[in-house]
Amino acid sequence: MPNVTAYYILSCTLLAGAVQAGQEQTDDIQGMFQADRGFIQAIATGNKVLLEPLLDTDFTWTDLNGKTQTKTDVLRTIPKSAIKNEDVTQFRQFAYGDLGDIQMNNGRTHVLRVWVKRGKAWKAIVYQEVGLLDAAPAFTPGAGTDCENPCKTVPYQPKNATEKQVIAAYSKLETAAMAHNSAVFATLAGDEFVAVSSNSNKAFDKQGRLAEFAQAKMGGLAPTPLVSAHMFVSGDAVLMISEHKPDRGKPLHVTRIWVKRKGTWMEMLSYQTAVQSGEAAP
């Protein structure tokens, strides 16, 4: 079982330095963090009674191999986390109104937990693991040379105006990535942006991604054709969960968070896990 007390002290230290947006956001992050502590303890001890009320109805758990389980599956047999001791991990947390995320990074293993506020209670809606490659990738799975999908069109019908705007921003961002257009990409990625993928050997922050574009590199991350998507809208924040089939390699399960800032929808994170049980493109 992880040392929850030490984890709490670590968070409060970061919280004091990272939150500058007022008491309401501080309370949001603290509430989310308290729920996350309970989640960690429940997983570590296999306590289904403690875990059940912390999971959203739409909760999914995706492991390092890209196997995705529902809330029902997880409560039947609680999986083990890829990070055994979170006290020694790099840690980041963000709250965007009623949507937030906690990121744990330990060497080549990355864990994302996305939380949504239902009433006054924070509920976990996504748990996702990503394992980085040991060395630079030999090739980068992508959308082909023309990038029809997702640069020009995507097989997703938005359900409302917000989803329509997010899809437009998503296609614009992927088009910029395909063209190594740093100027446009920078306007669509938040300052806290991070991207990790099973197809890469490193995590990218915003500046790291722009540096790759400047060198005409992709680093294992590239636009990939969208197969299906689900969106959860929460005010000026949107959780996007999608499935992708690149031109080469295994299918990808991807979680993104979009936030509207100064009228522009911006991507805050992209966690991409290869689905090892899926059929690989040649």
Do 165 and 86 reside in the same domain of the chain?
no
The confidence score (pLDDT) of residue 198 equals 97
Do 116 and 221 reside in the same domain of the chain?
no
pLDDT surpasses 90 at 89: no
Inside any domain, residue 280: no
Output the domain CATH number for residue 41: 3.10.450.50
Inside any domain, residue 57: yes
Do 90 and 169 reside in the same domain of the chain?
no
Residue type at position 11: S
Do 94 and 186 reside in the same domain of the chain?
no
Do 205 and 103 reside in the same domain of the chain?
no
Residue type at position 222: A
Inside any domain, residue 192: yes
Do 166 and 114 reside in the same domain of the chain?
no
CB atoms within 10 A of CB 275: 20
Do 85 and 12 reside in the same domain of the chain?
yes
For the chain, the domain total comes to 2
Share of the chain above pLDDT 70, in %: 90
- Segment 102-121 shows an average pLDDT of 96
Q: What is the pLDDT of residues 134-185, one digit of tens each?
A: 999 988 899 999 999 999 999 999 999 999 999 999 999 999 999 999 999 9
Inside any domain, residue 73: yes
Inside any domain, residue 111: yes
Do 125 and 152 reside in the same domain of the chain?
no
The confidence score (pLDDT) of residue 235 equals 95
Whole-number Å distance between alpha carbons of 34 and 43: 15
Structure tokens at 230: 């689900």
Average pLDDT, the chain: 90
The confidence band for 1, taking pLDDT boundaries of 50, 70 and 90, is very low
pTM: predicted TM-score of the whole model, two decimal places: 0.90
The confidence band for 88, taking pLDDT boundaries of 50, 70 and 90, is low
Q: What is the pLDDT of residues 14-34, one digit of tens each?
A: 333 334 445 556 778 899 999
The confidence band for 41, taking pLDDT boundaries of 50, 70 and 90, is very high
The confidence band for 218, taking pLDDT boundaries of 50, 70 and 90, is confident
Do 174 and 56 reside in the same domain of the chain?
no
pLDDT surpasses 70 at 40: yes
The confidence score (pLDDT) of residue 19 equals 40
Selected residue with higher pLDDT from 259 and 19: 259
The confidence score (pLDDT) of residue 86 equals 78
The confidence band for 7, taking pLDDT boundaries of 50, 70 and 90, is very low
SS3 247: coil
Q: At which of 106, 131, 156 does a domain end?
A: 131
Do 123 and 37 reside in the same domain of the chain?
yes
pLDDT surpasses 90 at 12: no
CB atoms within 10 A of CB 21: 11
Interacting residues of 87 by C-beta distance below 8 A, sequence separation 6+: 2, 3, 6, 7, 10
The confidence score (pLDDT) of residue 25 equals 65
Inside any domain, residue 68: yes
Inside any domain, residue 279: no
Do 13 and 122 reside in the same domain of the chain?
yes
pLDDT surpasses 70 at 81: yes
Inside any domain, residue 282: no
Range of the structural domain that residue 176 is part of: 148-274
The confidence score (pLDDT) of residue 241 equals 98
Q: Where are the strands (E) in the chain, listed by range?
A: 55-62, 68-70, 90-96, 99-106, 109-118, 121-131, 189-197, 204-205, 226-234, 237-244, 252-261, 264-274
